[in-house]
């Protein structure tokens, strides 16, 4: 088995970094998938980084990093890609909205030869306005930009080492987004649909409207010449 790099995007994550690592570690050990766990703390002001360092001191496959200030999840994600060493890599957020089993499913798809795998939810149980704005945004992106998103959009991915190296060598994180850059590369991405099981932990989102607007703007202007 080849090593998988998990880039954990931490922002006021507290002890959730332990929970995510241990649950994921149990699953991957059962599947005999070796992995490294890279914690990228995005300038949290609580004890998140201290928790990450404690995890690092306990487990050999954990590395903890902290950005000098809060740059946003996209900067944290792209910074994490420069620190990973696995044959494949994927980012993970701490809200546990995506079932851990999808990590194994995407790893198996990667073993079959898929170099870019984009996970997306088959259905969404968000508030009406949130669904409406999200669906409208991705419809505009698919119509007016160089990239094509799956139904309902996506913001995470599973990448082969070749794609990681291209991003690290060619992409500057300013005024762009990782998912837009990944989709622009081609490689015939595989769109992997999954259902979020009922009863899955639903932590309150820390995505403010300002952060969503900034990411949406960077997504659009980095992938379109329409303006």
d(CA 210, CA 70): 14
pLDDT at 221: 62
User: What are the pLDDT digits (tens) for 167-217?
Assistant: 999 887 776 778 888 988 878 999 999 987 654 455 555 555 555 656 666
Cα angle for residues 32, 89, 9 (degrees, 5° grid):
110
d(CA 135, CA 55): 38
Strand partners, 90: 6
Global pTM value: 0.82
d(CA 213, CA 227): 17
In the chain, the percentage of residues whose pLDDT exceeds 70 is 76
d(CA 159, CA 116): 5
* Mean pLDDT score, 146-156: 78
User: What are the pLDDT digits (tens) for 100-117?
Assistant: 999 999 999 999 999 999
pLDDT at 210: 59
């Amino acid at each position: 088995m080849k090593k998988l790099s998990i880039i954990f995007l931490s922002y006021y994550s507290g002890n959730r970094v332990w929970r995510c690592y241990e649950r994921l570690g149990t699953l991957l050990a059962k599947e005999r998938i070796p992995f490294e766990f890279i914690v990228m703390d995005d300038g949290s002001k609580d004890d998140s980084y201290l928790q990450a360092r404690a995890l690092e001191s306990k487990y050999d496959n954990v590395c903890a990093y902290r950005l000098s200030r809060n740059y946003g999840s996209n900067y944290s994600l792209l910074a994490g890609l420069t620190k990973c060493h696995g044959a494949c890599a994927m980012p993970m957020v701490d809200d546990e909205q995506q079932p851990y089993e999808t990590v194994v499913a995407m790893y198996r798809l990667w073993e079959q030869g898929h170099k870019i795998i984009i996970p997306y939810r088959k259905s969404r149980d968000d508030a009406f306005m949130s669904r409406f704005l999200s669906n409208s945004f991705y419809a505009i992106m698919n119509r007016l930009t160089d990239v094509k998103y799956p139904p309902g959009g996506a913001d995470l991915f599973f990448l082969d080492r070749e794609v990681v190296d291209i991003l690290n060598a060619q992409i500057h994180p300013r005024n762009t987004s990782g998912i837009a850059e990944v989709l622009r590369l081609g490689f015939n991405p595989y769109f992997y649909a999954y259902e979020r099981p009922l009863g899955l932990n639903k932590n309150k989102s820390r995505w403010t409207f300002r952060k969503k607007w900034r990411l949406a703007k960077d997504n659009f202007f980095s992938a379109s010449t329409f303006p």
